[in-house]
Amino acid sequence: MLGKPRLLNQPENAFRAMPELLLELFSEEIPARMQRKAAEGLKKAVTDALVEQGLLYESAKAFVTPRRLALTVTGLPPRSPDTREEKKGPRVGSPQQAIDGFLKAAGLTSIAEATIEADPKKGEFYVAKIEKQGADAVELLSQILPRVIAGFEWPKSMQWGHGGLTWVRPLRAITATFGTENDDPVVIPFRSNTIDSGQTTFGHRFLAPAAIKVRRFDDYVQALEKAKVVLDIDRRKEIIRSDADHLAFAQGLSVIHDEGLLEEVAGLVEWPVVMMGTFDPRFLEVPEEAIIATIRANQKCFCLRDASGKLAPNFIIISNQVAADGGKAIVAGNERVIRARLSDARFFYTQDLATPLEHGLPKLEESIFHAKLGTQRQRVARLEALAAEIAPKVGADPEMAKRAAMLAKADLTTDMVGEFPELQGIMGRYYALAQGERPEVANAVADHYKPLGPTDLVPGEPVSIAVALADKLDVLTGFWAINEKPTGSRDPFALRRAALGVIRILTDNEISYHLAVEPDLLAFFHDRLKVSLRDAGARHDLVDAVITPESDDILEITRRVEALSALLGSEDGKNLLAGYRRAANILAAEEKKDGKAYAGDFAQSSLTGAEEGALGAAVSNVSAEVAAGVAANDYKGAIAALATLRAPVDAFFEAVLVNDPDPAIRANRLNLLAKLRDTMRLVADFSKVAG
């Protein structure tokens, strides 16, 4: 009886030539990092409210520039539909309290307004039949839009004006129109803080600041374009990318693309203009990562490479101005700032080079890693011991691994990393090489943070592998020890990333390594591995089939999944699985009936039939081969051996009656099936395989 309201009076052409909504919130500059999420949030808030009021629409799209949030919603009806809803109430004769609650929920003033319906099992009960007239869309929108604006969430906001509105920056104008393409739209009337809605917006702050009267979305976009505003952030990004590439190509250079920076600069301009500047080539003695970080952080500019792939003494500027002098003053201003910042970077680099990395270790005593896990210096001591322990297992020299672990965090105390934390490890490698450390040690200093994400490369050199594993395992075991584990979506210490890092290092480098961790942490690794394998296309049931609570070798698990997938992808594998299931089902039924488990100790001499004798011999031989293959981590070989059982298993079930009247023969045949089951379980738990 309860359910969604039914819509009444909906003509077949209800969605033809319907009005569209145009909403623009014009403000002072919105921070670039907030823009895209704000546009998505506006779209969701408005469309959710429309649907809640029965105003179903065809499409909606949001836009954002530094000074405006805009939304267009097409295919809206001119009014919400009439609805009819039935609410089931209490039984006739119920206490007054129940009846009063029903009346309140249904919006009735008297029980006489309800009807009585009968149910053969439950008797008579009250029903409220509520018919609600639809409302004019403009009237509904005049209520919806100010609520959306007032309740809009920003990461940071400010209160301004006299109406108590909290917004990211002061609002200056609100455009809100509603109408079809054939009629003049109406302004949706409402007030937010001190701003009344209207149909006036403004162009580019400097290039075309005059007021613009808009009617609907199409002429709004065209008017903004004439007023030097590109409304779509993705189009601004494409303009910047294309113009920068063309400008660089004309100079024989190529842009170092940076998606994060591109998103940011597209959020800083409404009319992107691309220019190129230069800096003194002598600054190229500073590591290129430091130059790129300096220019990116201070001026939001892109760096370039020459034809040989080396960093060029040039940079790309994205301006919000069409300058009368062709941009000479803008370029010169950026060059001055970048020259000063690169001078600072060169000073940091020179100072850091003059101090041996290990001299920074005492300063790590002043840096707390975690209140319950000690200082960074204490952590380094743990890394030294753990890296030296791991080294022989991954083919690394223990002393080199220990040295690299000791220096791994030392660059955290340098001036350059203090200025640009994202360069930790990278600068350590430069300093280590310049100060005479072995390349393996220096590379480990840079690579021990890797992989930082799913697309990042993993360390490939043995010393780097040892230190990277030590770094991640120390984090995981440490936070597990103090019970700071990930919960739901919360993972403040990036422990999921650390576990996936361990998994990728071991699997990508094909390293067999036993994780000596507590069961709870091992289960966490299993969960991360399942995610990783499923993302790579592995069947979830095969992953479950090969993992046991004691599985502590990540590479072994992945190889088992690969081998099992190959087996079950073949006809022999599919038929063998069917035979296994038949054997397992017979065993389960007979073990339950007999009250005991069959251990698989069959007597070959008692298998008198040709088919059972052949299966017995095959199982005995294959069991030994599979056990040897598993011991040698040769899962392809073990699986290939299993596949040979397909024919004797098929023949056995075609010709042999397992439950022979002779108890001894029956028991021997059940033990043979138990041996088959146990042999297959050496590779995986086939009972968990679907299909």
Q: What is the mean pLDDT of residues 609-629?
A: 94
* Average pLDDT estimate for 649-671: 93
Cβ neighbours for 619, distance < 8 A, ≥ 6 positions apart: 645, 648, 672, 675, 676, 679
Among 80-84, 503-507, 620-624, whose mean pLDDT is lowest? 80-84
Same domain, 244 and 318: yes
Percent of the chain at pLDDT > 90 equals 78
Highest mean pLDDT pick, 87-96, 304-313, 446-455:
304-313
- Average pLDDT rounded to a whole number, residues 245-263: 97
602 in a structural domain: yes
Contacts of residue 614, defined as CB under 8 A and 6 or more positions apart, other chains included, come to 648, 651, 652
- Summarize pLDDT for 581-609 with one digit per residue, the tens: 999 999 999 999 999 999 999 999 999 89
Which structural domain, as residue segments, surrounds residue 596?
570-688
Lowest mean pLDDT among 49-53, 105-109, 493-497, 657-661: 105-109
Task: Enter the tokens of residue 620.
Answer: 């005995």
Q: In the prediction, which pLDDT does 608 show?
A: 86
pLDDT at 21 over 60: yes
Same domain for 252 and 141: no
pLDDT reported for residue 163: 66
Looking at residue 158, its pLDDT comes to 84
Q: Quick one: average pLDDT of 120-143?
A: 87
Which token pair is 403?
A: 């040295």
For residue range 57-66, list pLDDT tens digits in order: 999 999 999 9
d(CA 165, CA 529): 48
Residue 443 counted as domain residue: no
Angle at 526 between CA 522 and CA 528, to 5 degrees: 115
Q: Say which residues have a Cβ less than 8 Å from residue 535's Cβ, sequence separation at least 6.
A: none
pLDDT at residue 6 tops 50: no
Q: Tell me the mean pLDDT in the region 193-199.
A: 93
Q: Could you give the 3-state DSSP secondary structure of residue 417? A: helix
The span from the CA of 574 to the CA of 691, in Å, is 9
pLDDT bin (cut points 50, 70, 90) of residue 10 is: very low
Element (H, E) at 85: strand 82-91
Does residue 430 fall inside a structural domain? no
pLDDT at 3: 39
CATH number for 42: 3.30.70
pLDDT attached to residue 691: 66
Q: Are residues 16 and 67 in the same domain?
A: yes
**Residue whose token pair is 């089931």:** 88
pLDDT at residue 123 in the model: 85
Strand pairing report for 191-192 and 195-198: antiparallel
Domain boundary among 226, 245, 267: 226
Are 164 and 311 contained in the same domain?
A: no
Mean pLDDT across 121-133: 83
More confident residue, 224 or 85: 224
Across the range 117-132, mean pLDDT stands at 83
423's CB contacts (< 8 A; 6+ apart) are 289, 290, 293, 416, 417
Domain tally, the chain: 4
13 lies in the same domain as 156: yes
Q: CA-to-CA distance for 611 and 122, rounded, in angstroms?
A: 64
The answer to whether residues 658 and 642 belong to one domain is yes
Q: Out of 209, 226, 243, pick the residue that ends a domain.
A: 226
Question: Residue 509 falls within a domain, yes or no?
Answer: no
* The overall pTM is greater than 0.85: no
Whether 169 and 120 share a structural domain: no
What percent of the chain shows pLDDT beyond 70?
Answer: 97
Domain-located, residue 562? no
Residues 582 and 645 in one domain: yes
- Is residue 557 assigned to a domain? no
- Provide the CATH number for the domain around residue 659: 1.10.730
| Averaged pLDDT score across all residues of the chain | 92
Q: Look at residue 14 and tell me whether its pLDDT is greater than 50.
A: no
Whether 505 maps to a domain, the answer reads: no
CA-CA distances (angstroms) from residue 139 to 56, 144, 304, 506? 15, 9, 55, 62
pLDDT tens track for 423-460? 999 999 999 999 999 999 999 999 999 999 888 999 99
86 — pLDDT class (breaks 50, 70, 90): confident
